[in-house]
Structures are given as structure tokens and as C-alpha cells.
Structure 1
Amino acid sequence: MVLPMSRTTRLAPDLPLLRRGRRQVAAADDDSEPAVPAHFLCPISLELMKDPVTAPTGITYDRESVEGWLARGRATCPVTGAPVRLGDLVPNHATRRVIQDWCVANQAERVSTPKVPVAEDDAAEVLAAVSAASRRGDAAKCGEVAAKARALGKESDRNRRCLLAAGAAQRLSSAFRDLAGEPVEGAGAAVSGALGKILAALTVFFPLDDESRRCIASPASLKTLVSVLSHGDLAARASAAVVLRELASSADRSTVETISRTPGACESLLTLVRSPVSPQATKAALVTAYYLATASDRAAARLASLGAVPVFAELLVDADKGTSEKALAVLDGVLCADAGLEAARAHALVVPVLVKKMFRVSDMATEFAVSALWRLCRGAPDAAGAAACRADALRVGAFQKLLLLLQVGCGGLTKDRASELLKLLNGSRASVECIETADFKGLKRPF
């Protein structure tokens, strides 16, 4: 008896034909893509040139590729080996137009006309104009030229390097110092606008060198910088926060203490965290606050007295990884001051949020969370504040998390403090009911 063929059996003889047809379609698709002429390809990247430039040797390259080659210290033509300098490269407009015409004719993505990179003389001229305008007190012109320098620097990395080599950071910092001196809220719109544009331009040319930092860290400049942080428009406040972070993170301890003593500095940073203008500005404010708190007990106490603890605790509830790390770091710094400890022990949210952030964020977040919890739980057995923190930590599962942390592995100071915390919490375990950290049940202040 002959069995009927299954559907698979009936299709089997046709499979080779199907495969052959697919190969023919694929080949047809490949043939439909035009081959790029060899002389349109950069000899370095072997890709279609978007900004062709010709070296004195007569070889044409894509600008990005050959400038990258020269930036790595190879002062020769990649093809011929003859000496070549950055200033020797000449835009090849004829080749670029031919490539653009070919793209249009072959329905390929059109190569856009590149912007002409800034030359050394042009960079020097722009920066000289910034200095000249600031020295004569022409705020409007100074802001206009600073904005031009910023736009040029953001166009390409080559422009940025060229402007940096011409002293962009020093010229802009000096211009800010020249215009500084009076609070932004009392200055005219031209001065306020110029200061914001100078700060925005400065952010393009990080890291600041020593001379630039000295200009911004002068008492008059710092006073004006804090004023912009408090009373400038949103863009200016964000730029001021980033510049202040750069200054605090790269300066010596005495400069950081000078920043902390500048009237309104701590208040402005907390205001920026409490009422954010952008994620970048918030993170910059947190980093600056961290450096202030860890460099100066006075600054830590000042931040605590201004209400930093509840601000950071609330921020940590739903913060992303980067914000959590920074908020935990500054909170740990504020707890070094007695006022910070007192405020944290009195706030119902601090211990639960520290335990919550102990895992599943990052190693850095774990380090700061353990350190902050260790500071809160230390103290004599009969000390009311520390005892209450130990009880709260047990209720939200700190003991189990610390055991897991030591099992998973941690080292250095974090391991020592986690071990000490376990000993501190062990004495209260029998009298405390544990709850799930993620639920935060039983708290007086839910969130």
C-alpha cells in the first residue's frame, strides 16, 4: 500500500529551487547597489570621503581620518611617507562636488557640504576679541564672541583642539573675571547674559588648566559664579553648576574651602537639587556638594543646617544609578558633621532608603550606603538616636543584606564597616520584627 505523501514530503523536491531563487534575488539586490569608485574612498578608512582634503604629496584623504592620523603623532603622508603637517591639508572642493553628484545620480545618501574648520589665525582672532571686549567692559560684545567660540568648539573636535591651543580656557576665564564683581540680580541684562555665555563656552574646553582655575576661583569670580547659580536664567545656572563642579573636583583643598566660604554657595547647590533645571546640573551640584562636605566640616554642618538630609533622602527614592551614587556620597559626607547625624536620625526615610540602595545599584553606591548606615548606627547602646537607627535598620532587613554582602564579597573599609554593623545590629535582633525593604511598611512617612 502506498501511503500519501505528507506536506513536507511534497515540498521537499521544491526546496532546492526555492534556495536557488533566493540566491538569485540576493544577487540581484547586491547588483543593484552601485560600486563606489575607488578614488572616492579614503586611503586610510577605505570609506566614502565626506570631507576630502589633499596633502602636499597629492594624495586625497577624508579630513577626519588624516587628522586623526596626524593627531597620533605621525607627521607623514600615510601613502607616500613624506612629511605632512595639519596646516598643509587643503580642502578638495572639486572631488567633494563630484562625490556629491555621484551620490545623487546613484540614489545614495548625499554627502553634505562640510563646514570649514577654524584656522589657527581665526581662533586667535576670536579669542582676542573676547579679551578685548571684556577689558573695555563691553559685555554684549563679549557674550556674542564667547558664544561664537562655543559654537566653533562644538562643531568638531579639531576646532576644539585648535581653540584650546590658542588659549580658549584662559581667555574665557579671564573675561569672566573682568566682568565679575557685582551680583547678577543687580547687573544689567547685558552683563548677566554675557556671564552665562562665557560659562557655557567654558564647559566646551574642560579640563581647565591651573591659570583658568585661578581666574574662576578668585573671590570676586566665585561670588559672581554663585550669583549666576542662584539668579541666572536656566541655561546659565546649568553652566554655572558644571563649571563649579569642574573647579571643585580638580582644585586643591584650600580652593574647595574657599568655595564653601563663598556666601550663598551651599544654599545655591541645595536649591539646584531641590528645584532641578536639568539632570546634568543636578548631578554637578551633587558632586560639588560632596567635595565641599568632605573637605570642610564647616560646609558639612552648613549643608545639614540648610536641610540637605531630607533633600537627599527624597531624591534617592527614585533616582537613577548616577544620581544615586552622587546623592549617597554627599549624604555620607554630611553625616560626618554632628548636625548631619542629628538630622538623619530624626528623619524616618533615611535608614530605609540607605538599606534599599545597599544592593542593585553599583559597588560605589554600596560603599557609600554602608558607610552612611555605619555612621548612623554607631554610638553607645543607650544612645537614643543610634539605638533607634539600629532598630529601623533591622526592621527593613539590613541584617540579612549585610550578611549577603559579606558572602558575595566586598573589601577594604566597606567590609570592615559591614562587619561592625552586623555586630551592632545583632544585639537588637530578638526584639525587632523584620519587614521587606522594598515595601517600607510601618514607616510613618510613606512614599
Structure 2
Amino acid sequence: MISSWRRRRAARHASKKQDLDDNGGSMELVIPSHFQCPISLELMKDPVTLSTGITYDRESIEKWIEAGNRTCPITKQYLRSLEPIPNHSIRKMIQGWCVDNQSYGVERIPTPRIPISSYEVEAILSKVEEVKDREDGEGCRELVVKIKALMKDSERNRRCIISNGAGSVISATFEAFSKASFDKNVAVLEEILSILAMMLPLDEEAKSYLGSDSSLRCMIWFLRHGDLSGQRNAVLALKETISSGQVHYLSEIEGAMEALVKLIKEPICLTTTKASLLTIHHMVSSSIDTERVIARFVEMGLVAMLIEMLVNSERSICEKALAVLDGIYSYHEGREKAYEHALTMPVLVKKLLRVSDLATEFSVSTLCKLCKNEEREDGGVLVEALQVGAFQKLLLVLQVGCSARTKERASELLKLLNMHRERLECVDSMDFKNLKRPF
């Protein structure tokens, strides 16, 4: 019987191949209408049925529901439940149709994994809280690994886990184990940091747990002594925490500032560099003892690093580096280091109107702070700015439009620069031949 069935199947395939050859290889395969998603009109890969009885592809209907719709796209009836039910019968029929049409280049769709439900997420998080209370580090690590695997499985799983409060539970667990014996819990703390990096951005409750003294010290330890993955996860969590107002604790932790500067000096990836720059920016602009913090960063050579970084960096890095320099140049120590560096003026002037509106605003602000606080009688900084084309660039800034504050600063700079124009000709009328004026 089996051999007879195989002969019939081979005959069908041979017949299809002959039909395709007879049509010059251009025969178009038509997907049965009941295998098509009513939304995307494509072959369903994961058919699911709503409470109205209509079947859709999971990806399409979930996008519809996530957009805020609460009705069935076809029947327009209100959905009693937003949880679609897998339609295994249709899925098996589609897979059979794919197998029968392999000769036409149709690949069999894989059997989809059933996504996690809110009930399952709540059950897992409940277990996490239980092992946390028992201080069972190994049990907690196993649960965290399981959650991480589910999040990696699909974006839908990730959204479901996050929406059910996993960020707060995991952050509270991190704080709890960071207060206990650190040497004993390094493995579970490292695993928790890795899953927190997948849950960003965190809610305020989760940030409050990570902002505790024990949590911050733990993250700094991984930043200083962890492997590259541990450093990356730690600085991402740290950046998230600092943005919530916990910055004044960080500068008091031994080795924190050195670890952040090291990530700029020896970058791991763009993501870690951006996170480190954002954290430093908050520290130089929001700390209680800002002057002391800036003095320490200056001693570590941060000013020179950032100026050299600006020479050839992508937009986001430039904006963040300029923001940090703008904070550092508010104080005498930072400005002195800027005056000593030969690239300071050329780089800052070059970034005007070359990167983004935000970068231009920070560039004007930093130039203003350096030029207004010039203490040399010969106006060395102002003359250097004129030599590298600052006058022309600032005129363009006023012409193309910018914020009122930036215009005010640009005007102040032009007045300062104008006092030294007789020492060198800095404007060629041909520079503005093609300038489009807004009036």
C-alpha cells in the first residue's frame, strides 16, 4: 500500500513538472484563498483565530491589535478576547499544500512555536520572587536564563514579558542579590544584567531598584572587572539608572569615573560608547559637587579624548561628546585643557552646520564659553577661531535658522571676533554668493 501511494505521489509530481515545462516554466502558482491572511493577502505562516471565528496570520493581526484596534478587521465585531488561538488544522493544511507544491519552489513553512502567555509570564515571575526571598542564587539564575531564552525566541515574547512587569521584578532581584554575598552571587548577578539589557527602556520602579547604593556598586564592579559582555550590560543599565536622577551617588563610588573613561579610551562598541558619554554628561551637569567631578575627569585626560573623538565620529557620538565638553568648559580647569589642545578650535568650528542642529547648538555654546573667558591679552583663541573660519560659519548659523539661545550666543561671538578682524581678513564676499536668505 505504501509503495502504491509513493508511485501515485511521484506521478502527480511528474505531471506537475510536465505542465510547468509545457508552459515554458512560467506557470504561476495560485495560493488558495483560505490559506491567505485577510490582512496581508500572503500565505499564512502562523494562522490564528480570533474570538469572531476569522483566521489571520499571527504577525498581521498582532500588529492590528497593537495599533489600538479592538475589533475584527473583517467582521468589525468587538473582540471579547485579544488572545488569538492557534489554528492547527489550517496550519497543517498549509504545510501539506507546501509539500505538494515543492516542485514549484514552495518551501514548507516550519511549525511555529506557541508564544508565551501573560499567565505563564506571571507564573515565572512569581517563582523568581520566591527564589529571591530564599536567596537561592542558582535557582534564580536558571529562571533568568529561561526568561532570556523566551525573549530571544520572538519579539512578541519579549513585549509580553516586559508588559507584565518583568523589569521591576528582575531589578528588585538584582538589588536583593547585590546586598547579599557578592562572591557567591556573581553568576546570577551577571545573568540578571544581561537580561536587563534586553528590557530597556526600564520603568521608574525598576530604575529605583537599580539606583540603590548596593546595585550601583555592583554595576561598577562589573564595569571594572567584568568581561566585555559584562561591561556592556553594566554600562547600559547604569545609563538607564543615571537618567532617573541617581547621579550624585555614582561619583562617590571608587573607580566609577575611571571605568567610564576607560570605555571611551578603549571602546567596546558604539552602544557602550554612547552609554558612557550619556552617563558622563549627566555627571558633569547634574552632580551635587560638579566642579570636583569635572576636575577629576580633566585629570584623567577626558578633554583630549573627546576632542580627538570628534575628528571622525558618527552623528550621535558627536552630539554626546559635544554635550560633555559643553559641561566641562563651564569650569576653568576644563577650559585650560581646551586651550592647550591644538585641535580644539578647528574641530569645534568644523562641526558647525556639519553634523546636526543639536551638534551646532553645542558647538556654538562651547565656542562661546572658550572665547568669552579668554584671559590672554593678545586674544589668541579669538584669532585662531578667525583663522579657521569661525566668522563665516557663525554668519551662516544666523542665516539658516536656529534656536533663539543659539542665535544670541552666535551674535555675542561675532562681536568678540569682530574686534580682531583688522588683524587678518576673514571674510571673502564670494563665500556668500549662493547663500539662500530667508527674507
Measured against the shorter chain, the TM-score band is 0.7 to 0.9
| Deviation, structure 1 residue 30 | 10
1:229 aligns with 2:229: no
Which letter maps to 1:323? I
- 2:272 aligns with one of 247, 256, 281: 281
Counterpart Cα distance in 2 of 1:315 and 1:429: 31
Partner of 1:24: none
Deviations 1:297-324 (A, max 9, x none): 2433332232210111111111111111
Identity of aligned pairs, percent?
Answer: 44
Counterpart Cα distance in 2 of 1:228 and 1:348: 36
Question: Is the alpha carbon distance of 1:341 and 1:387 closer, same or farther for their aligned partners in structure 2, counting shifts above 3 Å?
Answer: same
Deviations 1:91-119 (A, max 9, x none): 12222232233234132244232221012
Counterpart Cα distance in 1 of 2:108 and 2:342: 61
User: Which range moves more in the overlay, 226-235 or 140-149?
Assistant: 140-149
In the superposition, the TM-score normalised over structure 1's length comes to 0.82
| Contact map agreement 1:272 1:281 (CA 8 A) in 2 | yes
In the superposition, the TM-score normalised over structure 2's length comes to 0.83
Partner of 1:152: 150
Partner of 2:133: 135
| Deviation, structure 1 residue 224 | 0.9
Which letter maps to 1:304? V
| Deviation, structure 1 residue 183 | 9.8
| Contact map agreement 1:376 1:386 (CA 8 A) in 2 | no
Question: Is the alpha carbon distance of 1:30 and 1:212 closer, same or farther for their aligned partners in structure 2, counting shifts above 3 Å?
Answer: farther
Deviations 1:181-236 (A, max 9, x none): 4897xx35xx3332232122112223322221111001111111111112111111
RMSD over equivalenced CA pairs, Å: 2.5
Partner of 1:107: 105
Partner of 2:114: 116
User: Which range moves more in the overlay, 327-336 or 422-431?
Assistant: 422-431
Which letter maps to 1:122? E
1:83 aligns with 2:79: yes
Counterpart Cα distance in 1 of 2:40 and 2:341: 59
| Deviation, structure 1 residue 402 | 1.3
Question: Is the alpha carbon distance of 1:49 and 1:258 closer, same or farther for their aligned partners in structure 2, counting shifts above 3 Å?
Answer: same
| Deviation, structure 1 residue 42 | 1.3
Question: How many residues are paired up?
Answer: 398
| SS of alignment partner, residue 199 of structure 1 | helix
| SS of alignment partner, residue 205 of structure 1 | coil
Partner of 1:393: 385
1:40 aligns with 2:35: yes
- 1:175 aligns with one of 149, 173, 176: 173
Counterpart Cα distance in 2 of 1:385 and 1:35: 83
Counterpart Cα distance in 2 of 1:62 and 1:34: 20
Question: Is the alpha carbon distance of 1:346 and 1:53 closer, same or farther for their aligned partners in structure 2, counting shifts above 3 Å?
Answer: same
Which letter maps to 1:120? S
Counterpart Cα distance in 1 of 2:213 and 2:197: 20
1:291 aligns with 2:289: no
Partner of 1:302: 296
Which letter maps to 2:81? R
1:272 aligns with 2:263: yes
| Deviation, structure 1 residue 413 | 1.2
| Contact map agreement 1:345 1:386 (CA 8 A) in 2 | no
| Contact map agreement 1:42 1:60 (CA 8 A) in 2 | yes
Question: Is the alpha carbon distance of 1:386 and 1:346 closer, same or farther for their aligned partners in structure 2, counting shifts above 3 Å?
Answer: farther
| Contact map agreement 1:77 1:84 (CA 8 A) in 2 | no
1:195 aligns with 2:193: no
Q: Provide structure 2 residue ranges, at least 5 long, that are not aligned to the other structure.
A: 1-22, 428-439
